[in-house]
Amino acid sequence: MRIVFRWYGEKNDNITLEQIRQIPGVEGVVGALFDVPVGEVWPMDKILKLKETVERAGLKLEVIESVNVHEDIKLGLPTRDRYIENYKETIRNLAKAGVKVVCYNFMPVFDWMRTDLAMKLPDGSEVLAYDHSLIENITPEELIKRVKEGSQGFILPGWEWDRLEKLRETFELYKSVDENKLFENLVYFLERVVPVCEECGVKLAIHPDDPPWSIFGLPRIVTNKENIEKILKAVDSPHNGLTFCMGSLGANPENDIPEMIRYFGKMGRIHFVHLRNVKITGPKRFHETAHPSFCGSHDMFEIVKALQDVGFDGYIRPDHGRMIWGEKGRPGYGLYDRALGITYILGLWEATKKMKERYC
Ligand code: DNO
């Protein structure tokens, strides 16, 4: 297991590489270029500059999150081929710079979705929260406004405001794309991109839909074991893998997280893991919490044990944390609670590993 930490770059993050370097166990950062428009090729010079900056701080840049997929690819429009060619070129460039895993998602219009970016917990900390009943009563425009106001001026991953301005048009186009069509469009994309990944040694890792159900009537297809298996088998290559985001999948109590880890882990298809806890408080209603089991609805011991049992040796990062100790920053991506998350994960990892070595 290799621990990495998401970092938004010198201009976009209030957390420094020097701070990240001091968190025990962290080997590298999960980075991205945020100034390249979605669909365009990531230029080699910009990738190399990011790599140099990261390496100068004694860290590695082996995981990218995300190279976002252009909406025309998800919609299956005739223009998609141009964007797929660009995607392939980006993968080649990233491989040349030593990147091993590329995380992406295939969620229509919106990336991750929350209805509150700063819900207060009784201890005074703030977390991201979701309540589906609120989504049912507001328009997508109102929701975007809410998220923008809660962003505190930070770029939020996957929420490109200019792209979201064309909302009406995009929703119109999605009227003819149901789950089957979206799946076909994903397979079309994978059939063309995975061979390039095989050639240059990059592992593609799809991120589950967050939350794992349809919102505003849009199709979502990376939501449970059955759907994920279908995607992995449609293009049956180890380079067509998964970012196992347990918080996303874990918002639906029907997803048995340790079992899914065992299943996809044994297939060798989990390349990247996001660990965080959520507290499910009702149907399609949850809020995020600190990482430990007693804070949320998930047994983190069982989850780490499942990773240990399948011999997981890929990358793992703490996912969203709370805002604590007066820290101001990008919602979900503060320094302190994610660092606490890492030490907790390290503790569980050491314990499950030694138990296995000594008692099994
Ligand atoms: C949110 C993140 C997502 C994730 C993308 C991957 O905080 O987990 O934005 O990076 O869905 O493409």
pLDDT score at 160: 80
Residue 265's pLDDT is 98
Cβ–ligand 1 contact at 140 (below 6 Å): no
Q: In what order do the strands lie in the sheet with 116-120?
A: 116-120, 126-131, 285-289, 277-282
Confidence tier at 35 by pLDDT (50, 70, 90)? very high
* pLDDT average, residue stretch 43-67: 98
Mean pLDDT of 70-88: 97
- C-alpha–C-alpha distance, residues 322 and 326, integer Å: 11
Going by alpha carbons, the residue nearest to atom 9 of ligand 1 is: 157
pLDDT tens, 209-268?
A: 999 999 999 999 999 999 999 999 999 999 999 999 999 999 999 999 999 999 999 999
| 269-306 exposure pattern, b = at least 16 Cβ within 10 A, e = fewer | bbbbbbbbbbbbeeebbbbbbbbbbebbebebebbbbb
pLDDT, tens digit (0-9, with 9 covering 90-100), for 5-15: 999 999 899 99
Whether ligand 1 lies within 6 angstroms of the CB of 66 is answered as yes
Average pLDDT, integer, range 46-57: 98
Residue 161 confidence (pLDDT): 78
Pairing mode, strands 116-120 and 126-131: antiparallel
Q: Which residues pair with 189 in a beta bridge?
A: none
Q: How far does residue 265's CA lie from ligand 1's centre (Å)?
A: 21
* pLDDT at res. 143: 84
Binding site membership of 42 for ligand 1 (Cβ less than 6 Å): no
pLDDT reported for residue 32: 96
Of residues 107 and 153, more confidently modeled:
107
| 104 Cα nearest atom in ligand 1 | 12
Q: Which residues are catalytic?
A: 207, 245, 274, 319-320, 333
User: What mean pLDDT is predicted for residues 281-289?
Assistant: 97
In this prediction, residue 152 carries a pLDDT of 79
Alpha helices in the chain (DSSP H): 17-21, 44-56, 71-75, 80-96, 132-135, 140-150, 161-165, 167-174, 179-200, 225-234, 246-249, 257-266, 300-309, 336-359
Structure confidence at residue 285 (pLDDT): 97
Distance of alpha carbon 60 from alpha carbon 193, whole angstroms: 25
Please give the pLDDT value at position 38.
Answer: 93
Whole-number pLDDT of residue 302: 97
Single-letter amino acid, residue 159: W
Percent of the chain residues topping a pLDDT of 90:
87
Q: How confident is the model at residue 145 (pLDDT cuts 50, 70, 90)?
A: confident
- N- to C-terminal Cα separation, the chain: 20
Q: Is the CATH number of domain 2-359 3.20.20.150?
A: yes
Question: What value does the mean pLDDT of the chain take?
Answer: 95
pLDDT for res 155: 77
Q: How far apart are CA 142 and CA 4, in angstroms?
A: 35
Provide the pLDDT for residue 289. 97
Number of H helices, E strands in the chain: 14, 12
Query: What is the per-residue pLDDT for 59?
Result: 98
Domain segments of the chain as ranges: 2-359
| Amino acid making up residue 95 | A
What mean pLDDT do residues 168-174 have? 89
Bridge partners of 245, per DSSP, are 274
